């Protein structure tokens, strides 16, 4: 399924090109940006660069599978004292981890700013000076927004998660309870050979026995591998008329006939938020230590109109509450 493959490319930040760009401002503090290439990454990068290019010496490396540690070293060596490295996407984090472990003396004092990475807290573990922006939308934010759009009660919501996401789900279960929403969660093992059966059985339990009103999908690329999407997730939600709330817009595309609603951090705003972090780091004389992860400050919502009308009458939908409504044809309405 070509749309399944496309979806996973977004989820795992698969990068497609390599290119170096520079915005040179004499005598300004150097900032290096390592980024994947693709629509959301480009938007975030542009939002960031537009805010900092006049105040900092900015260099950009767009990476792909052929990007080497030498490519990064060349950029680092191009400046006397790089103050910050911005990592956009999980692959950018992974390659910089390799670089920093090999060139500790060059990176130990460099500040790291990270965004558009799934499970960012775990992704940046091992770094010492990190300020990041979470890409996962808070569960309660997505569910409350969806409840408002469909004008129906949302009392019980199902979720599947692996152990690395256990604390995340536990924390947001508490937040949801304050909104009168009960979370029915099932932990899936880390044994990938059992995932097909475990996911299918757990979904059947939640949808048919627990009778959940909706399902919230964790952005976990291990549970959302192409063969699992195509053989388990999508067939189940095509058959069952239970809305699925996702954290990635591509999963709500009507061509997939899968997700009903998504609340997603705005990529341009993420870039602008990262710029504010860089300005703050400069004011603090580039001396931040430890790992600090902030929530995204700007979100947008997407509604799959066809899937939504499977669970409620069209007249009940408050589409004016949604940033973008997707229809089965190519047309969509932005608000």
Q: What is the pLDDT along the chain (335 residues), one digit of tens a residue?
A: 444 444 444 444 333 334 455 555 557 899 999 998 888 999 999 999 999 999 999 999 998 888 889 889 888 888 778 999 999 999 999 999 999 999 998 899 999 999 999 889 889 999 989 999 999 888 999 999 999 999 989 999 999 999 989 988 999 999 999 999 999 999 999 999 999 999 999 999 999 999 999 999 998 989 999 999 999 999 999 999 999 999 989 999 999 999 999 999 999 999 999 999 999 999 999 998 899 999 999 999 999 999 999 999 999 999 999 999 999 755 555 55
CA dihedral 121, 251, 304, 218 (to 10 degrees): -40
Angle between helix axes 69-77 and 90-102 (nearest 10 degrees) is 70
Q: What is the CATH number of the domain that holds 145?
A: 3.40.50.2300
Residue 277 belongs to domain spanning: 2-135+267-294
For 138-170, letters b (16+ CB in 10 Å) and e give: bbbbbbbbbbebbeeebeebbbbbbeebeebbe
Same domain, yes or no: 205 and 104: no
Say if residue 128 is in the same domain as residue 10: yes
Q: Are residues 111 and 155 in the same domain?
A: no
Q: What is the pLDDT of residue 2?
A: 46
Residues 104 and 25 in one domain: yes
Q: Are residues 203 and 181 in the same domain?
A: yes
The structural domain count of the chain equals 2
Question: Are residue 271 and residue 260 in the same domain, yes or no?
Answer: no
Q: Are residues 321 and 183 in the same domain?
A: yes
Nearest to 44 by CA among 263, 274, 296: 274
pLDDT at 170: 93
Same domain (yes/no): 85, 200: no
- Quick one: 102 and 143 in the same domain? no
In this predicted model, what pLDDT tens digit does every residue of 236-286 receive, in sequence order? 999 999 999 999 899 999 999 999 999 999 999 999 999 999 999 999 999
Q: Is 117 found in the same domain as 67? A: yes
In the DSSP assignment, the letter for residue 310 is: T
Same domain, 187 and 319: yes
Q: Enter the pTM of the model.
A: 0.81
């Amino acid at each position: 399924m070509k749309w399944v493959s496309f979806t996973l490319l977004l989820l795992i930040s698969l990068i497609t090109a390599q290119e170096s760009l520079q915005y040179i401002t004499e005598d300004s503090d150097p900032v290096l940006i390592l980024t994947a290439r693709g629509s959301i990454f480009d938007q975030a990068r542009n939002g960031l660069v537009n805010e900092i290019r006049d105040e900092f010496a900015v260099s950009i490396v767009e990476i792909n599978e052929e990007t080497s540690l030498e490519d990064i070293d060349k950029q680092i060596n191009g400046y006397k004292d790089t103050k910050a490295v911005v990592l956009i996407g999980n692959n950018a984090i992974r390659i910089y981890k390799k670089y920093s472990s090999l060139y500790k003396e060059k990176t130990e004092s460099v500040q790291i700013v990270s965004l558009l990475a799934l499970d960012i807290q775990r992704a940046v573990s091992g770094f010492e000076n990190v300020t990041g922006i979470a890409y996962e939308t808070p569960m309660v934010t997505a569910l409350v927004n969806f409840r408002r759009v469909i004008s129906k009660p949302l009392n019980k919501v199902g979720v599947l998660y692996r152990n690395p996401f256990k604390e995340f789900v536990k924390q947001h279960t508490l937040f949801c309870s304050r909104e009168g929403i009960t979370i029915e969660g099932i932990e899936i093992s880390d044994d990938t050979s059992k995932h097909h059966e475990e996911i299918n059985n757990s979904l059947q339990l939640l949808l048919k026995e627990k009778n959940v009103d909706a399902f919230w999908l964790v952005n976990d690329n291990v549970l959302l591998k192409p063969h699992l999407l195509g053989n388990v997730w999508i067939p189940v939600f095509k058959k069952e008329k239970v809305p699925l709330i996702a954290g990635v817009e591509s999963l709500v595309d009507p061509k997939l006939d899968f997700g009903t609603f998504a609340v997603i951090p705005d990529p341009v705003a993420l870039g602008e938020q990262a710029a504010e972090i860089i300005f703050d780091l400069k004011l603090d004389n580039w001396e931040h230590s430890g790992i600090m992860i902030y929530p995204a400050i700007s979100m947008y919502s997407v509604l799959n109109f066809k899937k939504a009308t499977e669970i409620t009458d069209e007249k009940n939908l408050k589409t004016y509450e949604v940033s973008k409504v997707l229809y089965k044809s190519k047309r969509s309405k932005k608000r």
